[in-house]
Amino acid sequence: MNNIFIIGVGLIGGSFALDIKELYPECTIHGIDKNDTHLDEAISLKLIDQKSNFEDLKKADLVILAIPVDATLSVLPRVLDHISDETIVFDAGSTKENICVAVKNHPKRRNYLAAHPIAGTEYSGPKAALRNLYRNKTNIICEVEETAFKLQEKALKLFSDLGMRIRYMNPKAHDKHIAYVSHLSHISAFMLGKTVINKEKNERDIFDMAGSGFESTVRLAKSSPAMWAPIFQQNKTNVIETLDEYISNLKHFKTLMEKEDFDAVYNEMKDTNHIKDILNGIQ
Amino acid sequence: MNNIFIIGVGLIGGSFALDIKELYPECTIHGIDKNDTHLDEAISLKLIDQKSNFEDLKKADLVILAIPVDATLSVLPRVLDHISDETIVFDAGSTKENICVAVKNHPKRRNYLAAHPIAGTEYSGPKAALRNLYRNKTNIICEVEETAFKLQEKALKLFSDLGMRIRYMNPKAHDKHIAYVSHLSHISAFMLGKTVINKEKNERDIFDMAGSGFESTVRLAKSSPAMWAPIFQQNKTNVIETLDEYISNLKHFKTLMEKEDFDAVYNEMKDTNHIKDILNGIQ
C-alpha cells in the first residue's frame, strides 16, 4: 500500500486516514474533496499528505469513498474508470443496494468492495475525524463474491489491521436491517428534537430542565442533513416501513394511555426492557 | 442534620445517601423501603446505616422520598403525619402537580418541599446508586412559598452542598415542560426499542449492525417500568399532547418521503440541527 486515496475527507474518510497512516507510515495519503476548505483543513490536521485529483487515481493501491450516498452513485463509476487493475476501491455508505446496482455492469466491478463500517459520531467534517474510530466495530460487506479475490484480501487485511469485525450480507438485507437499527433512530431523534424545539420557544426551559436522558435520545439530531437526506432517499421503501411501524407503536401506546390502561403501559415497557441484553452485546 | 431518613433506597435515594454521608459524616442515615432485600443491599453497600420504620420518623431532621410517584401520593401524607415540626421532607418525583394537590391541606404542608432533581440513569435499585449524581444538575422546586422559610433554608443548604442548581416553577408548568424534555424521550426510546425488537426476531442482526447511534437513542428503554408507568399516569394529559405532536411530526416526515420531497426532508433536519446549541447548554 503506497498510494492511498481518500475521497471525502470528513469524519469517516479522515478517521480512516488517521489510522491508516499510523498502520502504514510510509504510504502517501492523497485527498480528494469537492470542498477545497476541507482539503486544506485535512492537510493542516495531518489527515492527508496532499491534495489530489481523479487523473492521479491510476497510481492508487487503495481508494476509499467516504461521501454522501447520492454522490457515490456518480463518483464511484468515475473512480473505477480511472484506476488500474490492481486497485481496490471501497465505499463506506449507509445504503448498499443502489450503489451495487449502479456499478453492476462496470468493467471494473471486480475492483470494488461494497462496505459499510458501522461507526461514526453525530459530527461531520475533517475536524470530526477520530483515531481508532473503527476499532471493534462491525464492517458489513455486501456481494463479496463480486470482488476479485486478491483485492478482497487486501481490503480484509486492512480491516483486520484496523480492528474491525466483518459480517457478510446481501445488499437488500443490509438496507432492510439497517433501516431499523440506524436510519429509524435518526428520524426518531430528529423528530424528537423538532417536537421539543417547536414547543419550547423559550429555550431556557429546555436548557434547565433537560437531563442526560433527553440529551442521549436526541443526540443524533445533530447529524449532517447532507449525509442523511440521500440515505433516506435511497432507502425510502425500507425507511417508510420502519416509520409506519414506529408510528403505529406510538399510537398504540397513546391509546393505552387514553384508555387509562396503565397495566398495559407497564407491560409495553417491561417487554422492551429486554433491549438491555441486546445492548450489552453492542458495547 | 443528625437523623436523615431515605424512603426508597434505589438509584435516587441511594445516591442522595452516598453524598449526604460524605458531607455530614456524623449523621445517621435511616432507610425505609417496602423491599427488604433492597434494604439489606443498601446496608451492605453502605448507602444507609440502618433499617427504620415510620414510627421513628419523629426524630428525623430530614426525610427524602425517592419512590415511584404513585406511591408518593399515599406515602407522603403518612410521612407528614409522623414527623416533628422541625423536619423538612422533600420528594424527588418526576411529576409535581398531583403530589402538591395531595398534601395541599395537610396540617404539615409547610414541612414539605416539592422537588425534582433532574438526575438519574436508566438503571434502578440500590446497586445503581452513584456518588456525585447530583453535582451540577438542576433541581426544580415547586410552590416554594408553601414551605416554611426555615425549612426551605435547610433543604437549600443541602442542595447547595450537593452542587445543584435551583430553579423555581409552579407544578403545572413543571409537568408540562418535563413532559417534553423527559417523558416524551422515554416513550420515543421505548417504542423505538419495541419496533426494532419486533422486527428483528433474529437478534444477531441487531447485535451486529447496531452502532452507538442506536444505542444512545434507545438507551432509556432500559428504564424501570415501575417508575415510569405511574409518571405517565399522573402526567397523562401533557404526555398525550407531546405524543400527538411527535406522531404528527413523524407522519409529516413520512409524507415528505412518500412525495419524494427530499429537499424538504433535508430542511426538516437542518432546522433541527439547532438542537446542538441547546445541548451545548446541558453539558
Cβ-Cβ pairs closer than 8 A, A with B, add up to: 314
Calpha distance B222→B125 (Å, rounded): 13
> pLDDT averaged over chain A?
95
What per-residue confidence (pLDDT) applies to A200? 78
| Cβ–Cβ below 8 Å for B281 and A207 | yes
| Cβ–Cβ below 8 Å for B177 and A192 | no
CATH number at residue A224: 1.10.3660.10
Instruction: Judge whether B225 is closer than 8 Å to chain A, CB to CB.
Output: yes
Are both A37 and A164 inside the same structural domain? yes
Question: Which three cell numbers mark A128?
Answer: 470530526
Q: How many residues does chain B have?
A: 283
pLDDT tens for B59-75 read: 999 999 999 999 999 99
Domain termination residue (choose one: A169, A198, A214): A169
Q: Based on the number of CB atoms within 10 Å of its own CB, is B115 exposed (0-12), middle (13-18) or buried (19 or more)?
A: buried
- Give the residue-averaged pLDDT of A45-66: 98
What per-residue confidence (pLDDT) applies to A184? 97
Are both B98 and B186 inside the same structural domain? no
Q: Does A282 score more than 60 pLDDT?
A: no
What per-residue confidence (pLDDT) applies to B8? 98
- Closest B-chain CA to A123: B276
Confidence of residue A208 (pLDDT cuts 50, 70, 90): confident
Calpha distance B187→A269 (Å, rounded): 9
What per-residue confidence (pLDDT) applies to A205? 64
pLDDT tens for A223-235 read: 999 999 999 999 9
- Own/partner contacts of A77-81, CB < 8 Å, gap of 24 or more, are A77/A102, A77/A103, A77/A106, A78/A54, A79/A7, A79/A54, A80/A106, A80/A107, A80/A108, A80/A109, A80/A111, A80/A112, A81/A108
Helices (H) then strands (E): counts for chain B: 13, 8
What residue type is assigned to position B191 of the chain? Answer: M
CATH number at residue A30: 3.40.50.720
What per-residue confidence (pLDDT) applies to B200? 78
| Cβ–Cβ below 8 Å for A240 and B258 | yes
| Cβ–Cβ below 8 Å for A230 and B262 | yes
Q: Does B24 score more than 80 pLDDT?
A: yes
Placement of cell 394511555 in the chain: A257
Are both A165 and A213 inside the same structural domain? no
Are both A41 and A75 inside the same structural domain? yes
What per-residue confidence (pLDDT) applies to B181? 92
- Give the residue-averaged pLDDT of A37-43: 98
Q: Does A176 score more than 80 pLDDT?
A: yes
Domain encompassing residue B242 = 174-282
Q: Which among A219, A275, A282 is the nearest to B221, CB-wise?
A: A275
Confidence of residue B212 (pLDDT cuts 50, 70, 90): confident
Q: Does B215 score more than 60 pLDDT?
A: yes
Domain termination residue (choose one: A141, A169, A197): A169
What per-residue confidence (pLDDT) applies to B277? 83
- Closest B-chain CA to A274: B222
Calpha distance A192→A196 (Å, rounded): 6
Confidence of residue B281 (pLDDT cuts 50, 70, 90): low
Calpha distance B198→B212 (Å, rounded): 20
Express as a percent the part of chain B with pLDDT over 90.
90
Q: Does B112 score more than 80 pLDDT?
A: yes
Which of chain B's residues have a Cβ under 8 Å away from the Cβ of A94? none
Q: Does A51 score more than 70 pLDDT?
A: yes
The DSSP string of A129-174 is --TTTTTT-EEEEE-GGGS-HHHHHHHHHHHHHTT-EEEEE-HHHH
Confidence of residue A209 (pLDDT cuts 50, 70, 90): confident
Are both B13 and B97 inside the same structural domain? yes
Query: DSSP letter at B51?
Result: E
Phi, psi of B261 (to 5 degrees): -90, 75
Placement of cell 412525495 in the chain: B259
| Cβ–Cβ below 8 Å for A198 and B254 | no
What per-residue confidence (pLDDT) applies to B203? 61
**Which chain A residues in 119-178 lie under 8 Å from chain B, judged by CB atoms?**
119-122, 137-138, 140, 165, 167, 177-178
Confidence of residue B282 (pLDDT cuts 50, 70, 90): low
What residue type is assigned to position B118 of the chain? Answer: I
Please give the order of strands across the beta sheet that includes A165-169. A50-51, A28-32, A3-7, A62-65, A88-91, A112-117, A138-142, A165-169
- Give the residue-averaged pLDDT of A155-162: 98
What per-residue confidence (pLDDT) applies to B182? 94
Contacts of B3 (CB under 8 A, 6+ apart): B27, B28, B30, B59, B60, B61, B62
Please answer whether residues B139 and B117 qualify as being in contact, where contact means their C-beta atoms are separated by less than 8 angstroms.
yes
Confidence of residue A281 (pLDDT cuts 50, 70, 90): low
Number of domains composing chain B:
2
Which of chain A's residues have a Cβ under 8 Å away from the Cβ of B165? 208
Are both B198 and B94 inside the same structural domain? no
| Cβ–Cβ below 8 Å for A191 and B250 | yes
Are both A192 and A273 inside the same structural domain? yes
What per-residue confidence (pLDDT) applies to A258? 98
Q: Does B139 score more than 90 pLDDT?
A: yes
Are both A239 and A105 inside the same structural domain? no
Which of chain B's residues have a Cβ under 8 Å away from the Cβ of A165? 208
pLDDT tens for B194-211 read: 999 998 776 666 667 888
On the CB side of A101, how many CA atoms lie within 13 Å of its CA?
Answer: 7
pLDDT tens for B32-56 read: 999 999 999 999 999 999 999 999 9
Please report which helix (H) or strand (E) contains residue B62, including its range.
strand B62-65
Calpha distance A153→A175 (Å, rounded): 24
Please answer whether residues A220 and A193 qualify as being in contact, where contact means their C-beta atoms are separated by less than 8 angstroms.
no
Are both A146 and A104 inside the same structural domain? yes
Domain termination residue (choose one: B147, B169, B191): B169
Express as a percent the part of chain A with pLDDT over 70.
96
**Closest by alpha carbon to B77, among B115, B106, B110?**
B106
What per-residue confidence (pLDDT) applies to A3? 98
pLDDT tens for B222-265 read: 999 999 999 999 999 999 999 999 999 999 999 999 999 999 99
The DSSP string of B219-282 is GGGGS-HHHHHHHHHHTHHHHHHHHHHHHHHHHHHHHHHHTT-HHHHHHHHHHHTTHHHHHHHH
- Give the residue-averaged pLDDT of A170-177: 95
Are both A67 and A97 inside the same structural domain? yes
Are both B178 and B165 inside the same structural domain? no
pLDDT tens for A221-280 read: 999 999 999 999 999 999 999 999 999 999 999 999 999 999 999 999 999 998 888 777
At how many degrees (to 10) do helices B236-258 and B184-199 cross? 50
Are both B86 and B142 inside the same structural domain? yes
Largest CA-CA distance found in chain B, in angstroms, rounded: 68
